[in-house]
C-alpha cells in the first residue's frame, strides 16, 4: 500500500503565544463577550478568595470569644459568596457559548473556501485526511481553548497574583515559604512546553494520516474486498494507530511528570508553611484565625496552580491546531489578474475575435518533479480553429490529460501562452474562464446529491429544458428509471451507479451549459459499443457549435474530430485528419491499429475499424 501524503511539518521551534495570537482576528468580533466572561470568572475567583478571610474572622471572632450570636451573619456571608461564585461561573459559560460557535463556523468557512481556491497542485500534495482533521478536530480544539483554557489562563494567573498578595498581608514569612517552588516550577513548565508542543504536533499529524487511511478504506472497499487486501489495509491501520498511541502516551507521560511536580512541590511547601505557622501560633506571634485564613487562601490557590499543567498542555494543543489551520490559509493562491485596462483593451471571447484555442511554446512540469528531469510538456504548439473539434492522441503517460488541464488553468503552464479566441487565459478572471471552458474528466466524480444537482453544476442557472437536453445528449435515459428521476440521490462518489452511468452524467454536466470551449478527456471509455454509438451521434450536434479538444484512445472517438494531433515526447508530433495521419504518421498507425511503428508506409487493411 502506498504511504500517506503528509504535509510539511511545522518548524521545530515556534512561539506558542505567537501561534495563539493569530486567532485574534477571529476572536475580535466577540472581544466584549470574552472580556465579560473573563471578568465574571475573575470576580468568581475573587469571591472564593474572600472565603478564607471570613473563616479567619469566624475563628478569631465568634469562636475565640464564644459569641455564637455573631456567627449567623458570617455564615450568611459565606453562603452569599458561594452563590455569587456559582452564578458568575454560569454567566461565563452562557455568555460565550453562542458567539464561539460562530467563531468556529467562520474559521471553518474560511478554511473550506481556501481549499476550494487552492490549485490542484496543492491537493496533489496533501492527503485528504490531513485536510479533514484540520476542518474538524483542530477546529474543535481551538474553539474549546477559547471557551475555557484561554479564560482560565488569564483568570488563574490574576487569581494567583491576588492570592499571593493576600498571603503576604496575612503573614509575609509564611508567604515566602509557600512561594519557594515558584522558580523551579517556571523552569519545569518551560521545558515541558518545548517537549509537549512537538508531541502534540506529531499526534495531530498522525491523526490526519489515520483519517486518510479510514477514508481510503471506505471509498475503496470494493477494491480491497475484490483483491483480498482488507487484512493488509487493517494492518496498515493498526500500525498507524499504534504509532498514534505511542505519541499520545508520550504526551500523557510528559503531562503526568509535570502534574506530579506541580502538585507535589506546592504541597510540600504548604506543609512547611503549616509547621512554621503552628510554631508561630504556639509562640503567640500569629493568631489562630490568621493561620486558618492563610492556609485556606493557600488551599484556594491549589486549583490555579494545579491547573497550570493542563492549561499549558491545552494551550500547546491549540497552538499546534492554529499552526495547522494557518498552514492552509498561508498557502499562496494562484495569481489572479485584473484583466485589460480601458486604455489597452485585449481582444478576447467577449470582443468578437474568433481564433479558437491556440497553444504556443507551452511547457509544463509538476512542482514535485525531480529537478534534473525533463519537462512533461516541452514546447506544445497547437491551433484548434474556432468551431473545430481536435482529437488528441498519444501513448499512456505522454501528458494528454495534463495538457487538457492547462486550458481551464487547473494547472499553470510553466512557460508559453494559451489563448482562447485571442485572449491569454492568464488575463481572464478564473470565474469567467471556468464559464467559457467546460470539462469532462476520464474519471467521473459525482457528489452526494441528486442527479439534477450533479448535472447542473455545469450551469447552475439552467432550466429543466437544458437539463433534459444534456441528459439526452449523454444518452442518460436510465435516469427516468431511477426511483425519483432527476431528484434521486446518487450517493457518495455516485457509487450507486455503474461506471458508464457515472460517465454519462459527467458528460451531461459538461455540455449542459452550452460552453464555448469543451474539453473531453476520453469521455466514452466506460460505455458499451451500442451506447457509445448513440452518445457519439448526439455529441456531434454539440461539437458542431463549440470549439473542442477531445482526448481519444479509440478510433471511434477519433472519428468525432475534424483533425487529430499526436502528442509524443512532450511535443505535438503531427496534426492532420484521421486518414492523413494513417498514411503519414507511423506513431499514429501504431496507436490506432497496434501495428509496429517500425513498418513505414504500411497500409490499413480493408474493413479495419480505423477506416
Check residues 307 and 466 and name the one with the higher pLDDT: 466
Cα distance between residue 498 and residue 476, in whole Å? 12
Cα distance between residue 111 and residue 126, in whole Å? 14
Model confidence band, residue 91 (pLDDT cutoffs 50, 70, 90): confident
When divided into structural domains, the chain yields a total of 2
Could you write out the DSSP letters of every residue in 363-430? EE--TTS-TTSPPSEEEEEEEE-TT-EEEEEE-TTSSHHHHHHHTTTSS--SEEEEEETTEEGGGS-H
CA dihedral 100, 102, 104, 108 (to 10 degrees): -170
Are 520 and 389 contacting, i.e. CB atoms less than 8 angstroms apart? no
81 and 222 share a domain? Answer: yes
Q: What is the pLDDT of residues 95-119, one digit of tens each?
A: 877 788 888 889 999 999 998 888 8
283 and 370 share a domain? Answer: no
Residue 312's SS3 state is: helix
Task: Output the domain CATH number for residue 368.
Answer: 3.40.50.300
Q: What is the pLDDT of residues 474-484, one digit of tens each?
A: 888 888 888 88
Residue 348's pLDDT is 45
139 to 104, 108, 129, 134, 326: CA distances (angstroms): 6, 7, 14, 7, 11
Task: Report, as an integer, the average pLDDT of 280-290.
Answer: 85
Q: What is the pLDDT of residues 252-267, one digit of tens each?
A: 888 888 878 887 888 8
Q: Is the pLDDT of residue 381 over 60?
A: yes
Q: Which of 314, 329, 344 is the last residue of a domain?
A: 329
H or E stretch covering 585: none
Residue 280 pairs in a beta bridge with none
Check residues 183 and 113 and name the one with the higher pLDDT: 113
Percent of the chain beyond pLDDT 70? 89
Q: Is the pLDDT of residue 234 over 50?
A: yes
Q: What is the pLDDT of residues 345-360, one digit of tens each?
A: 444 455 457 889 999 9
Asked whether residue 342 is domain-assigned, the answer is: no
Asked whether residue 465 is domain-assigned, the answer is: yes
Residue 489's SS3 state is: strand
- Strand ranges across the sheet with 547-551: 437-440, 517-521, 547-551, 389-394, 563-568, 571-576
91 and 131 share a domain? Answer: yes
Range of the domain at 473: 357-593
Asked whether residue 8 is domain-assigned, the answer is: no
81 and 195 share a domain? Answer: yes
Asked whether residue 313 is domain-assigned, the answer is: yes
Least confident of 5-19, 55-69, 155-169, 191-205: 5-19
Q: What is the pLDDT of residues 329-342, one digit of tens each?
A: 998 887 654 443 33
278 and 416 share a domain? Answer: no
Q: Which of 283, 311, 329 is the last residue of a domain?
A: 329
Asked whether residue 605 is domain-assigned, the answer is: no
Q: Is the pLDDT of residue 5 over 70?
A: no
446 and 560 share a domain? Answer: yes
Asked whether residue 386 is domain-assigned, the answer is: yes
Residue 501's pLDDT is 84
Asked whether residue 582 is domain-assigned, the answer is: yes
CA dihedral 316, 317, 318, 321 (to 10 degrees): 120
Asked whether residue 598 is domain-assigned, the answer is: no
40 and 139 share a domain? Answer: yes
Are 510 and 440 contacting, i.e. CB atoms less than 8 angstroms apart? yes
Cα distance between residue 473 and residue 455, in whole Å? 12
Task: Output the domain CATH number for residue 75.
Answer: 1.20.1560.10
369 and 318 share a domain? Answer: no
140 and 254 share a domain? Answer: yes
255 and 368 share a domain? Answer: no
223 and 101 share a domain? Answer: yes
Amino acid at each position: 500500500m502506498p504511504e500517506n501524503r503528509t504535509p510539511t511539518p511545522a518548524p521545530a521551534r515556534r512561539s506558542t503565544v505567537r501561534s495563539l495570537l493569530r486567532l485574534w482576528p477571529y476572536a475580535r468580533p466577540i472581544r466584549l463577550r470574552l472580556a465579560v466572561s473573563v471578568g465574571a470568572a475573575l470576580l468568581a475567583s475573587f469571591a472564593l478568595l474572600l472565603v478564607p478571610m471570613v473563616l479567619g474572622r469566624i475563628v478569631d471572632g465568634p469562636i475565640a470569644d464564644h459569641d455564637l450570636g455573631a456567627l449567623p451573619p458570617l455564615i450568611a456571608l459565606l453562603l452569599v459568596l458561594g452563590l455569587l461564585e456559582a452564578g458568575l461561573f454560569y454567566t461565563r459559560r452562557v455568555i460565550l457559548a453562542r458567539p464561539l460557535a460562530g467563531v468556529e463556523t467562520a474559521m471553518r468557512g474560511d478554511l473550506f473556501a481556501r481549499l476550494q481556491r487552492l490549485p490542484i497542485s496543492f491537493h496533489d500534495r496533501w492527503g485528504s485526511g490531513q485536510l479533514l482533521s484540520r476542518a474538524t478536530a483542530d477546529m474543535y480544539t481551538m474553539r474549546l481553548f477559547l471557551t475555557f483554557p484561554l479564560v482560565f489562563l488569564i483568570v488563574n494567573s490574576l487569581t494567583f497574583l491576588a492570592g499571593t498578595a493576600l498571603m503576604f498581608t496575612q503573614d509575609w514569612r509564611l508567604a515566602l515559604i509557600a512561594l519557594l517552588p515558584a522558580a523551579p516550577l517556571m523552569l519545569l513548565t518551560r521545558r515541558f512546553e518545548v517537549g509537549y508542543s512537538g508531541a502534540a504536533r506529531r499526534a495531530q499529524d498522525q491523526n490526519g494520516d489515520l483519517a486518510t487511511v479510514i477514508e481510503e478504506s471506505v471509498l475503496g472497499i470494493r477494491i480491497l474486498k475484490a483483491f483480498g487486501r482488507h487484512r493488509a489495509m487493517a494492518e496498515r491501520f493498526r500500525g498507524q494507530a499504534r504509532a498514534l498511541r505511542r505519541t499520545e502516551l508520550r504526551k500523557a507521560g510528559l503531562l503526568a511528570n509535570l502534574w506530579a511536580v506541580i502538585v507535589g512541590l506546592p504541597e510540600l511547601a504548604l506543609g512547611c508553611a503549616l509547621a512554621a505557622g503552628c510554631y508561630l501560633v504556639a509562640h503567640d506571634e500569629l493568631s489562630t484565625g490568621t493561620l486558618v485564613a492563610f492556609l485556606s487562601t493557600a488551599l484556594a490557590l491549589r486549583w490555579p496552580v494545579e491547573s497550570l499543567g493542563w492549561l499549558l498542555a491545552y494551550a500547546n494543543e491549540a497552538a499546534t491546531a492554529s499552526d495547522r489551520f494557518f498552514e492552509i490559509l498561508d498557502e499562496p493562491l494562484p495569481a489572479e489578474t485584473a484583466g485589460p485596462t480601458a486604455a489597452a483593451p485585449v481582444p478576447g471571447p467577449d470582443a468578437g475575435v474568433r481564433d479558437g484555442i491556440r497553444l504556443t511554446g507551452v511547457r509544463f512540469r509538476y512542482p514535485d518533479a525531480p529537478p534534473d528531469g525533463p519537462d512533461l510538456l516541452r514546447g506544445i504548439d497547437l491551433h484548434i480553429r474556432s468551431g473545430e473539434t481536435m482529437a488528441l492522441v498519444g501513448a499512456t503517460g505522454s501528458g494528454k490529460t495534463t495538457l487538457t488541464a492547462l486550458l481551464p488553468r487547473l494547472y499553470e503552464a510553466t512557460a508559453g501562452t494559451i489563448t482562447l479566441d485571442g485572449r491569454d487565459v492568464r488575463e481572464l478572471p478564473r470565474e469567467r474562464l471556468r464559464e467559457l471552458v467546460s470539462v469532462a474528466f476520464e474519471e467521473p466524480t459525482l457528489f452526494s446529491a441528486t442527479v439534477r444537482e450533479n448535472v447542473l453544476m455545469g450551469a447552475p442557472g439552467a432550466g429543466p429544458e437544458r437539463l433534459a437536453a444534456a441528459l439526452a445528449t449523454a444518452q442518460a435515459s436510465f435516469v427516468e428509471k431511477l426511483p425519483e428521476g432527476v431528484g434521486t440521490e446518487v450517493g457518495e462518489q455516485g457509487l450507486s451507479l455503474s461506471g458508464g452511468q457515472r460517465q454519462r452524467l459527467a458528460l451531461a454536466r459538461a455540455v449542459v451549459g452550452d460552453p464555448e470551449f469543451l474539453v473531453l478527456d476520453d469521455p466514452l471509455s466506460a460505455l458499451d459499443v451500442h451506447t457509445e454509438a448513440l452518445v457519439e451521434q448526439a455529441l456531434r450536434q454539440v461539437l458542431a457549435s463549440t470549439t473542442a479538444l477531445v482526448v481519444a484512445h479509440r478510433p471511434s472517438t477519433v472519428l468525432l474530430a475534424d483533425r487529430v494531433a499526436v502528442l509524443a515526447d512532450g511535443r505535438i508530433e503531427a496534426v492532420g485528419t484521421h486518414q492523413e495521419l494513417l498514411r503519414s504518421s507511423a506513431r499514429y498507425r501504431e496507436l490506432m491499429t497496434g501495428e509496429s511503428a517500425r513498418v513505414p508506409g504500411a497500409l490499413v487493411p480493408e474493413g479495419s475499424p480505423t477506416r
